[in-house]
Chains A and B, each alone.
Chain A
Amino acid sequence: MTIKIAVIQFPGANCDLDAVHVLNDVIGVETSLIWHNHFKEANFDGVVLPGGFSFGDYLRAGIIAAHSPALDEARIMLKDGRPIIGICNGFQILVEAEFLPGALLQNESLRFVCKWVNIKVINDRTAFTHKMNKGDVLAIPIAHGEGRYYTDNIKELEENDQIVFKYSTEDGSFKTEANPNGSLENIAGICNIEQNCVGLMPHPERASESILSPKQTTHGRVFFESMIEFIKRRLT
């Protein structure tokens, strides 16, 4: 049985083709770009909500897309344990659709920021990180205006091991200068309690080919390789 992945194309998504490229051409898994209204969960083993500006993000980032029928379909996948990843705008949508807790606020600088950062793996057991090791530092780019993670229930996140990544320096320390947007506790990505759904602001699809990486790393691939491995284990 072949594994099938969907990348949802919300109106205004703009990292959709990038994710399709990496999954199909770099990772080598059968991946389709699906218009949000046409998405049917039954056809897929995993789903990617890509980055961009869904519906222009003129209201609050991700809020309109969170009401797309695609999210109803994805909710079925969430419940039966299939892997779901939200990247950047996808993360904002997952938070707005309450797949994941908390909120993503405007960057502390009040400006959009596009740059390569480092993130440290905090939880290495999720569907997208189980091929990483706790404490690994990954080089990965960010590009967002509303990426400051906030929750008023940080204790619960910590207790449930839902913090997946934190912004860090290259040597893994959580200094303020390593935090590009003012996120609470340097949080860059989180998961649901069941650990099959991960959302993060950085872009693994932009960090999956050495030619695009300042230091020729391909840390982004491990997200997708973990997902494939996770699906294989579920299917057997």
Chain B
Amino acid sequence: MTKVNLNGEDISVEMTKEEFEKVKGLLDRDPTITELGGFDVMWSEHCSYKSSRPKLKLFEDAEANYDYVLAGPGEDAGVIDIGDGYALAFRIESHNHPSAIEPYHGAATGIGGIIRDVLCMGVRPIALLDPLRFGRLAGNSHSQWLFKYVVKGIADYGNCTGIPTIGGEVEFDDSFENNCIVNVACIGLGTIEDFKHAPSRAYNPGDYIILMGGSTGRDGIHGVTFASRTLTEMSEADRPAVQIGDPFTKKMIIEATLEAVKTGFVRGLKDLGGGGLTCATSELTGDGNTGANIALRKVFTGEPGMTSYEIMLSESQERMAFIVKPEGLETVLDVFKKYEVAHAVIGKTDDSKVLKVFDGEELVVSLPAKALSESPTFKRAEKRPEYLDTLLAQKTPKPTTSLKEIIDKLIASENICSKEWVYRQYDHEVGVRSVVKCGEGDSGVLRIIGTNKFIAASVGVNSKHCYLDPYEGAKGGLVEICGNVIANGGKPMAMVNCCNFGNPEIPESFWYFSKAVEGMNDFCRTLRIPIVGGNVSFYNEDEVSKTAIKATPQIMIVGIINGVENIITLPFKESGNDVLILGETEAELGGSEYHSVIHGLEGGIPPKIDEEKIQARWNLLFELYRKKLVKANHDVNKGGFIVTIAEMCFKNKIGADIDLTGYNVNDLRDDELLFSETVGRFVIETIPKNYDKILDLAEKFNVTVKKIGVLTSKPEINIKGLNQNFKLDVIKMKKLYDSTIPNLMEI
């Protein structure tokens, strides 16, 4: 908080003294209180990306480099052309701070916000995905409370709006105990025409500006500045800064907006999120090179006596701003009337390039339309944390229990066990598009009705890996999430990310952000994956324990599958078939679940990424798919490939005779081989007669492929070829896998 003097009065603002001086310089006068509020919000970290923008410049050229990218970073959502006249829009965003204080409404309004971002691209929101982070559940009622109500908030909001939640991931780790991570992603589908009808610019003078949806109230004022500082013990007092969601109104807004866009009379569209009306009107006119006259008292308010400051800065949910052609005003208003959504014509665009807001006769805001978006940027210092050397030097102790006991513990551990308790609460089938449903594949697969095309989407990253090495960790996240899409047969088309980090003013925290961005950028350029959008959430660091969260650059990948016959699923299908593994296993136990669950260690050497090898494996897989040689596929993730194999056995209660003789080319210890989390490996099921054909292709593509076993009808996994042979009971493992979260949450 800074104190500045405005017209003889001391006022508390979030901006710095220098920023206040810059405001005065821009205007050549003192701002009004409403204007100052606008600058304060729009120049906050959350809205202006002032710390991250210099770094995010790396991502800026997606539209130029990929012909199918229709909208890239900087838009409300990334949009790609997927052929057949269809556009796919998607975005991911954080709602961490509100959720840490008020998990139910914080998460719900996070969903509300991301739906609006996609909707304002003119397309129908068709899917949600939510990657989450909490403190460990066992013995921690605070973490359980956050987890329970975040999931309920997502479920109630998503279910009511009729948008299926088709995926997500959860990690539990102490570093998130006070700063939970609630990221929300949405995918929208529409025609390219629909998308073209809804630019987020008011580029034509003389158009009407309509505010539609929920009423403007006092909730959520300064929500974004609240999100731009660290949580303190005082943060409980910030609870009024958390908005309240209304999914029913949102559902009406979705239908009314889509119908209004179809009339052809809408010329611009923007949702009201952080910064409220101030942000929406200034961005519409600023980006459109126009100006506007707004009559503030036309805004329908939720309570009487609101000041111009409150009306302009309210972050009340469920509101959209429309720019409408004059000749279409009545038609558009009729649509809003049909759906009984509140609306008001609040002003008109003009060619003044100035945003003017009148409170009755009084001019309360008069700003060059672009001024609010001209926030200063900061070049933040970065420094590699000193503790890393010690962490990276940690060695894996020799296991003191049997491998079987370790596997049982891992499969029941919070980060590996089934998340069914979560996705059963989400309506993941509404819309009749869900082909590969929650729990059935590495990614969620949706059909595009009327075509033979399918969307595969996945989201996640490994925070423990990123903590040890954000550069390789971010790359590893991309390998893993692309791997999820590829495992289901999808070709990764584009990426969006949500960067969750600590306080950017602390050089060690900023270093994590900086390295993660570099990792994402390097990987995506090499593998030709456009980055079409992102969101940054800093200050996930609490002042009570003085610790930042583990770096969490969430990655979402959207892919396309052409043809129903090319969808691959996770479960093993038939006994007698071969089990093959693609890729070598390295001694990479740093940040693994094995280290954490069995040895209580956070360090060690995390996985390193070799882009050339990854690309070769992906190419080989697509060749195997083309030749119809793969019956099941699952990428290797937390807990190592034994966990992967067990997960593939569960659904059809199949077993496997696994012989690892000859696979251990790097001469690893048994525990290293089994539990290493080397990224980019896949376990596939194939038919024995095709084995030679597959090996020939593997050689041609220069990929290590090794047959490690055969499927059996008895639900038992027999493991040979190690120093210790052992047997796993699939039914018992499934029980362990399924019961962890219900046991913790249903007391």
A contacts, CB < 8 Å to B: 11-12, 14-15, 17-18, 21-22, 25, 35, 51-53, 55-58, 111-115, 141, 143, 145, 203, 205-206, 209, 211-212, 214
Q: Which bucket holds chain B's interface residue count?
A: 20 to 34
Q: Which residues of chain B are near A145, meaning CB under 8 Å?
A: 159
Q: With CB as the reference atom, state the residue of chain B lying closest to A143.
A: B427
A-B pairs with beta carbons under 8 Å apart, 30 shown? A11-B251, A12-B160, A12-B248, A14-B160, A14-B161, A14-B162, A14-B251, A18-B430, A18-B431, A21-B449, A52-B162, A53-B159, A53-B247, A56-B160, A56-B248, A56-B249, A56-B251, A111-B425, A112-B156, A112-B424, A114-B424, A114-B426, A114-B428, A115-B424, A143-B159, A143-B429, A206-B429, A211-B564, A212-B435, A214-B440
Tell me, rounded to whole Å, the shortest Cβ–Cβ distance linking A156 to chain B.
33
**Is the Cβ of A15 less than 8 Å from the Cβ of B430?**
yes
Q: With CB as the reference atom, state the residue of chain B lying closest to A25.
A: B449
**Is the Cβ of B426 less than 8 Å from the Cβ of A212?**
no
**Is the Cβ of B429 less than 8 Å from the Cβ of A53?**
no
Q: Pick the contact of B424 from A57, A111, A203 — CB < 8 Å? A: A111
Q: Which 9 A-B pairs have the closest CB atoms?
A: A14-B162, A56-B248, A143-B427, A53-B160, A18-B432, A114-B427, A112-B425, A12-B248, A111-B425
**Is the Cβ of A56 less than 8 Å from the Cβ of B247?**
yes
Q: Which residues of chain B are near A11, meaning CB under 8 Å?
A: 248, 251-252, 339-340
A-B pair number, CB within 8 angstroms: 83
Inter-chain CA distance A154–B719, complex, in Å, is 55
Q: Pick the contact of A141 from B159, B429, B564 — CB < 8 Å? A: B429
Tell me, rounded to whole Å, the shortest Cβ–Cβ distance linking A8 to chain B.
14
> Is there a chain A Cβ closer than 8 Å to B29's Cβ?
no
> Is there a chain A Cβ closer than 8 Å to B434's Cβ?
yes
Q: Which residues of chain B are near A115, meaning CB under 8 Å?
A: 424
A interface, by DSSP: helix, strand, loop or mixed?
mixed
Q: Which residues of chain A are near B464, meaning CB under 8 Å?
A: none
Inter-chain CA distance A18–B248, complex, in Å, is 19
Q: Which residues of chain B are near A56, meaning CB under 8 Å?
A: 160, 246-249, 251
Tell me, rounded to whole Å, the shortest Cβ–Cβ distance linking A108 to chain B.
12
Binary contact readout B135-171 vs A (1 if CB under 8 angstroms, 0 otherwise): 0000000000000000010011001111000000000
| Further 10 A-B residue pairs, CB within 8 A, beyond A35-B338, A53-B248, A205-B432 | A11-B252, A12-B160, A14-B430, A21-B449, A53-B247, A114-B423, A114-B426, A143-B429, A145-B159, A203-B429
**Is the Cβ of B432 less than 8 Å from the Cβ of A212?**
yes
Q: Which residues of chain A are near B156, meaning CB under 8 Å?
A: 112
> Is there a chain A Cβ closer than 8 Å to B370's Cβ?
no
Q: Which residues of chain A are near B340, meaning CB under 8 Å?
A: 11
B contacts, CB < 8 Å to A: 152, 155-156, 159-162, 246-249, 251-252, 338-340, 423-432, 434-435, 437, 440, 447, 449, 564
Inter-chain CA distance A25–B449, complex, in Å, is 10
**Is the Cβ of B248 less than 8 Å from the Cβ of A112?**
no
Q: Which residues of chain B are near A15, meaning CB under 8 Å?
A: 162, 430
Q: Pick the contact of B430 from A143, A209, A211 — CB < 8 Å? A: A143
Q: With CB as the reference atom, state the residue of chain A lying closest to B160.
A: A53
Q: Which residues of chain A are near B431, meaning CB under 8 Å?
A: 17-18
Inter-chain CA distance A55–B159, complex, in Å, is 13
Q: Pick the contact of B432 from A12, A21, A114, A214 — CB < 8 Å? A: A21
Q: Which residues of chain A are near B251, meaning CB under 8 Å?
A: 11-12, 14, 53, 56
Tell me, rounded to whole Å, the shortest Cβ–Cβ distance linking A201 to chain B.
13
Q: Pick the contact of B447 from A17, A57, A211 — CB < 8 Å? A: A211
Inter-chain CA distance A12–B435, complex, in Å, is 24
Tell me, rounded to whole Å, the shortest Cβ–Cβ distance linking B697 to chain A.
29
Q: Which residues of chain B are near A114, meaning CB under 8 Å?
A: 423-429
Q: Pick the contact of A12 from B155, B252, B424, B437 — CB < 8 Å? A: B252
Inter-chain CA distance A56–B338, complex, in Å, is 17
Q: Which residues of chain A are near B252, meaning CB under 8 Å?
A: 11-12
Q: Which residues of chain B are near A214, meaning CB under 8 Å?
A: 437, 440
Q: Which residues of chain A are near B437, meaning CB under 8 Å?
A: 214
Interface centre among B156, B162, B425 (most CB of A within 10 A): B162
Tell me, rounded to whole Å, the shortest Cβ–Cβ distance linking B423 to chain A.
8
Q: Pick the contact of A55 from B248, B428, B432, B435 — CB < 8 Å? A: B248
Inter-chain CA distance A12–B161, complex, in Å, is 7
Tell me, rounded to whole Å, the shortest Cβ–Cβ distance linking B576 to chain A.
21
Q: Which residues of chain B are near A12, meaning CB under 8 Å?
A: 160, 248, 251-252
**Is the Cβ of B159 less than 8 Å from the Cβ of A112?**
yes
Q: A14-B162, A21-B449, A211-B435 are in contact. Are A58 and B429 (CB under 8 A)?
A: no
Q: Which residues of chain A are near B426, meaning CB under 8 Å?
A: 112, 114
Q: Which residues of chain B are near A22, meaning CB under 8 Å?
A: 432
Q: Which residues of chain A are near B339, meaning CB under 8 Å?
A: 11
Inter-chain CA distance A114–B428, complex, in Å, is 7
Inter-chain CA distance A231–B427, complex, in Å, is 32
Interface centre among B425, B431, B432 (most CB of A within 10 A): B432
Inter-chain CA distance A141–B431, complex, in Å, is 13
Q: Which residues of chain B are near A206, meaning CB under 8 Å?
A: 429, 432
Inter-chain CA distance A145–B425, complex, in Å, is 9
Q: Which residues of chain A are near B427, meaning CB under 8 Å?
A: 112, 114, 143
Inter-chain CA distance A22–B437, complex, in Å, is 19
Tell me, rounded to whole Å, the shortest Cβ–Cβ distance linking A51 to chain B.
8
Tell me, rounded to whole Å, the shortest Cβ–Cβ distance linking A170 to chain B.
14
Inter-chain CA distance A52–B164, complex, in Å, is 12
Q: Which residues of chain B are near A18, meaning CB under 8 Å?
A: 430-432
**Is the Cβ of B434 less than 8 Å from the Cβ of A212?**
yes
Inter-chain CA distance A192–B437, complex, in Å, is 35
**Is the Cβ of A212 less than 8 Å from the Cβ of B160?**
no
**Is the Cβ of A212 less than 8 Å from the Cβ of B424?**
no
Q: Which residues of chain B are near A53, meaning CB under 8 Å?
A: 159-160, 162, 247-248, 251
Q: With CB as the reference atom, state the residue of chain B lying closest to A209.
A: B432
Q: Which residues of chain B are near A113, meaning CB under 8 Å?
A: 424-425
Q: Which residues of chain B are near A52, meaning CB under 8 Å?
A: 162
Inter-chain CA distance A113–B742, complex, in Å, is 14
Inter-chain CA distance A18–B428, complex, in Å, is 14
Inter-chain CA distance A68–B162, complex, in Å, is 21
Inter-chain CA distance A203–B430, complex, in Å, is 10
Q: Which residues of chain B are near A141, meaning CB under 8 Å?
A: 429
Q: Which residues of chain B are near A212, meaning CB under 8 Å?
A: 429, 432, 434-435
Q: With CB as the reference atom, state the residue of chain A lying closest to B124.
A: A17
Interface centre among A35, A55, A111 (most CB of B within 10 A): A111
Q: With CB as the reference atom, state the residue of chain B lying closest to A58.
A: B248
Q: Which residues of chain B are near A21, meaning CB under 8 Å?
A: 432, 449
Q: Which residues of chain B are near A14, meaning CB under 8 Å?
A: 160-162, 251, 430
Inter-chain CA distance A211–B447, complex, in Å, is 9
Q: Which residues of chain B are near A57, meaning CB under 8 Å?
A: 160, 248
Q: Which residues of chain A are near B432, meaning CB under 8 Å?
A: 18, 21-22, 205-206, 209, 212
Inter-chain CA distance A206–B434, complex, in Å, is 10
Inter-chain CA distance A211–B432, complex, in Å, is 10
Q: With CB as the reference atom, state the residue of chain A lying closest to B163.
A: A14
Tell me, rounded to whole Å, the shortest Cβ–Cβ distance linking A67 to chain B.
15
Inter-chain CA distance A57–B157, complex, in Å, is 12
Tell me, rounded to whole Å, the shortest Cβ–Cβ distance linking A56 to chain B.
3
Interface centre among B251, B339, B434 (most CB of A within 10 A): B251
Q: Which residues of chain A are near B429, meaning CB under 8 Å?
A: 114, 141, 143, 203, 206, 212
Q: With CB as the reference atom, state the residue of chain B lying closest to A14.
A: B162
Inter-chain CA distance A17–B160, complex, in Å, is 15
Interface centre among A57, A113, A211 (most CB of B within 10 A): A211
Q: Which residues of chain A are near B162, meaning CB under 8 Å?
A: 14-15, 52-53
Q: With CB as the reference atom, state the residue of chain B lying closest to A211.
A: B435
Q: Which residues of chain A are near B430, meaning CB under 8 Å?
A: 14-15, 18, 51, 143
Inter-chain CA distance A58–B249, complex, in Å, is 11
Q: With CB as the reference atom, state the residue of chain A lying closest to B447.
A: A211
